[in-house]
Amino acid sequence: MALGLAAHSPRRRRRVFKNIPLEFNKIDRRVLQRIIREFHRDRLVDFKEDGDNGVRIILTEQGVKKALRYNIDAIFIEEPKKWDGKWRIVVFDIPEKMKKAREALRDKLRKLGFYQLQKSVFVFPFACHDEINFIVEFFELRSNVRIMTVLDITNEAELKLHFGLS
């Protein structure tokens, strides 16, 4: 799949896409190619020649680590050695008809260590944009959730104390 974009020859590209299962036909090929190209550029996937004129896309060691990191049940946020002084705020307005997804998001934010400022406002001191985007996509809440990074917040002393920051 990914090789189609990463491959330099049109013949090799055709071999990659020829072997794609039917379910993938519903996916916009340009989007798929772009994603595969990005994964290959980031060294998350590699391509292997298959014996029957095909090409396989495989996860690299780095790709496996990233895939495991973004397992919804095992997701975590790495804490840097030094805090950058910025606060990450997750704000959401999720309708009642999506109550289960809303509760799942709240629960996941709490488990990740976010501080709940209000019912739908959570704060965290470390970079977490990718992880939150993954969670938001997983629960299909893209249009209902906003992520902000701020330098100043009124209850900063309380937050610093909560997170053990100086």
Does 130 carry a binding-site annotation?
A: no
| DSSP character string of 103-123 | HHHHHHHHHTT-EEEETTEEE
Is 126 exposed, middle or buried (CB count within 10 Å of its CB: 0-12, 13-18, 19+)?
A: middle
DSSP bridge pairs for 116: 122
The Cα–Cα gap between 14 and 16 comes to 5
What would the two tokens of residue 7 be? 């491959």
> Using N-to-C axis directions, what is the helix angle for 129-138 and 99-111, rounded to 10°?
150
Q: Which residues are annotated as a binding site for Mg(2+)?
A: 93
Residues placed in the known binding site: 93
